[in-house]
Amino acid sequence: MPAIKKENFGTLSDGQTASIYTLRNNKGNELKITDYGARVVSLRFRNKDFENKFVLVGHDKISDYEKDNLGVVYVDGNDQLSKKIWNAEQIVEGVKFSIKDGDKEVIVIYSISNDNEISITYEAKGVNDVTSQLTFSGEVLTDPNFKIFSDDFKGEKSGEWTLIDKPAEIEFVEGMFGFDIGCPIDYFDAGLKNAAVITSDPANMLLEVYANQNKIHVDDVDGGFAIKTSESKSDGGVLKSQTVYILKNK
């Protein structure tokens, strides 16, 4: 399980105090998230030269997050819940955020493994759609090439593309994704599939995306590119999904 540290992240314009949680694995890589909107704040990755690279576009001050949608979880197509403080609980997998808004109940769990797997797990009731978005830095992952696996793909990213219509099922074996008896992250029941592979030759880095959602949207944005993965459900049942980002040195 990761080492977890909780700190004050500042005061919002309405007087509420936000907290920031740092998840660190045994390779020294760190994932930071805040209870303000259950947002991802930063991801620090140590490259083969032992240089720390901050691969996400983000801010140092909580006040800046009141002005944009970086790292948000979209519920039913909007970012309304990203403007609220979520309940936070440290669990064996990482940090669990939850919120109830009328008939809507949403849970998001963030984890980081010792193999640099960033797992984002969702469970929601009373909603039809949950979408996660991470914005990756074009200054770090320069000149990216994309391979996309999806049967519901939308993309507006300039650069080189390879599109593959159907995602391939992954056959999990012991040792894959760092799985072992003591691994706190649940992969076996997730139904994960290949979603994308992004390669940056200048940075000598590789980003792999796995998801059990078939919808993926990649866009050019200020400072880099945004990856959205979505899961929809219209029968009023419980919506569950998972996205896993894996950073590697080439």
245 bridge partner residues: 118, 209
Which of 210, 186, 180 lies closest to 198 in space, CA to CA?
Answer: 210
Q: Which residue has the tokens 């800046």?
A: 64
Q: Which of the residue ranges 39-43, 46-50, 139-143, 216-220 would you say has the lowest mean pLDDT? A: 216-220
Which of 241, 3, 242, 250 lies closest to 114 in space, CA to CA?
Answer: 3
211 by DSSP, 3-state: which?
Answer: strand
Give the span between the Cα atoms of 144 and 213, in whole angstroms: 23
Give the span between the Cα atoms of 245 and 241, in whole angstroms: 14
Average pLDDT over residues 194-207: 90
Cβ distance 203 to 53 under 8 Å?
yes
Residue 202: pLDDT band with limits 50, 70, 90: very high
- Alpha-carbon distances, residue 124 vs 87, 207, 231, 240 (angstroms): 15, 27, 10, 7
pLDDT at 86: 97
Backbone Cα Rg of the chain = 17
pLDDT at 57: 94
Which of 49, 1, 246, 245 lies closest to 134 in space, CA to CA?
Answer: 245
pLDDT at 151: 56
Q: Which of the residue ranges 29-33, 147-151, 205-209, 210-214 would you say has the lowest mean pLDDT? A: 147-151
| 161-187 pLDDT per residue, tens | 444 444 444 455 554 555 454 555 666
Residue 196 predicted with pLDDT over 90: no
Cβ distance 146 to 218 under 8 Å?
yes
* Domains of the chain in sequence order: 3-249 (2.70.98.10)
| 78-130 pLDDT per residue, tens | 888 999 999 999 998 899 999 999 889 999 999 998 888 899 998 999 988 88
What does the chain come to in residues? 250
166 by DSSP, 3-state: which?
Answer: coil
Give the span between the Cα atoms of 46 and 80, in whole angstroms: 34
pLDDT at 85: 96
Model pTM score: 0.87
